[in-house]
């Protein structure tokens, strides 16, 4: 059960899920990341997801911007992988970004086994992402994710989105604890109430952010804790406050 753990890290690694800045250009986003001294990110902007059918040049250009700014893209959020062709693309795109992990989900057990084999061969890990939808989703509970991981290698684990678990009505601390041995990445997000996806600043919702961070410390989690803030309109000041809040708990 390989997970992104380190030997008692002094602080948790706080980064950003780049979807948070989806309203900005890549260049404007880089300015914000540098101002916040963010050194690691997950690429999760919509134009990079498989569903947007991006070309390789988009990834090469992003990598050049990140490298120039001294920012490391540690994970690529592919979203849903439907077939082996999309799996091949996800691996290629992750490598172009220099990422060591892919976050997403698959449409069935057999495909998860192919993801396991292909990512292992490519030297990457894969984190199954839980999500809230108004209709039943295959990976909406900790138990759903654990069932999906059964029989897979250490390559495949969990990218735990605490906000999405809160939206689905699950206890976030319990979810982190149960999936702790499998953690590849954490999406740090707060939610106003269960049954919806109304994002609020960290610490102002129901996701138990301070307790989640305490649990990550207990687990000696050494992977990226990526702040996600899914709001329309200007988010720069909100994210500045969120980064400061998370760093105090790190």
Instruction: Find, among 7, 85, 68, 72, the residue nearest to 38 by Cα.
Output: 72
Span 84-124, pLDDT tens digits? 999 999 999 999 999 999 999 997 778 999 999 999 999 99
Span 187-228, pLDDT tens digits? 999 999 999 999 999 999 999 999 999 999 999 999 999 999
Q: What is the DSSP string of 5-65?
A: B-SS-SS-EEEEEGGGGTTS-HHHHHHHHHHTT--EEEE--GGGSGGG---HHHHHHHHHH
Q: Residues in the chain, how many? A: 250
**Per-residue pLDDT at 136:** 84
**Per-residue pLDDT at 41:** 98
- Return all residues near 230 (Cβ < 8 A) that are at least 6 apart: 19, 20, 189, 197, 199
Q: In Å, what is the CA distance from 25 to each residue of 62, 94, 230?
A: 11, 20, 16
User: Does the pTM exceed 0.85?
Assistant: yes
Q: What is the DSSP string of 61-102?
A: HHHHHHHHHT-EEEEEEEEEE-SHHHHHHHHHHHHHHT-SEE
- Return all residues near 125 (Cβ < 8 A) that are at least 6 apart: 2, 4, 100, 101, 102, 119, 155, 156, 157, 184
Bridge partner residues of 183 (DSSP)? 158
Report how far residue 26's alpha carbon sits from residue 21's, in angstroms, rounded to the nearest whole number.
9
Coil vs helix vs strand at 172:
helix
Q: CA 225, 207, 49, 107 torsion: positive or negative? A: positive
- Domain coordinates in residue numbering, the chain: 13-249
Band of residue 135 on the pLDDT scale cut at 50, 70, 90: confident
Span 22-78, pLDDT tens digits? 999 999 999 999 999 999 999 999 999 999 999 999 999 999 999 999 999 999 999
With residue 176 as reference, give the H or E element that holds it. Answer: helix 172-179
CATH class name, domain 13-249: alpha beta
Dmax over Cα atoms in the chain, in whole Å? 44
């Amino acid at each position: 059960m390989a997970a992104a753990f380190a030997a008692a890290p002094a602080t948790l690694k706080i980064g950003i899920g780049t979807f948070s800045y989806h309203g900005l250009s890549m260049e404007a986003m880089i300015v914000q990341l540098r101002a916040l001294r963010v050194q690691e990110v997950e690429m999760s902007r919509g134009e990079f997801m498989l569903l947007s059918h991006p070309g390789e040049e988009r990834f090469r250009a992003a990598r050049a911007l990140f490298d120039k700014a001294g920012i490391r893209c540690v994970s690529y959020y592919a979203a849903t992988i439907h077939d082996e062709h999309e799996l091949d693309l996800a691996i290629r795109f992750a490598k172009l970004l220099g990422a060591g992990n892919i976050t997403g989900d698959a449409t069935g057990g057999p495909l998860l086994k192919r993801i396991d084999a292909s990512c292992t061969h490519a030297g990457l890990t894969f984190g199954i992402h839980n999500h809230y939808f108004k209709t039943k989703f295959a990976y909406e509970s900790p138990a759903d994710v654990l069932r999906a991981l059964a029989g897979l290698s250490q390559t495949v684990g969990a990218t735990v989105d605490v906000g999405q678990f809160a939206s689905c009505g699950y206890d976030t601390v319990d979810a982190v604890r149960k999936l702790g041995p499998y953690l590849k990445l954490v999406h740090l997000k707060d939610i106003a109430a269960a049954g919806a996806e109304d994002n609020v600043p960290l610490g102002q919702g129901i996701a138990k952010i301070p307790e989640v961070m305490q649990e990550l410390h207990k687990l000696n989690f050494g992977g990226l804790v990526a702040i996600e803030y899914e709001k329309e309109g200007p988010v720069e000041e909100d994210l500045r406050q969120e980064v400061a809040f998370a760093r105090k708990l790190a």
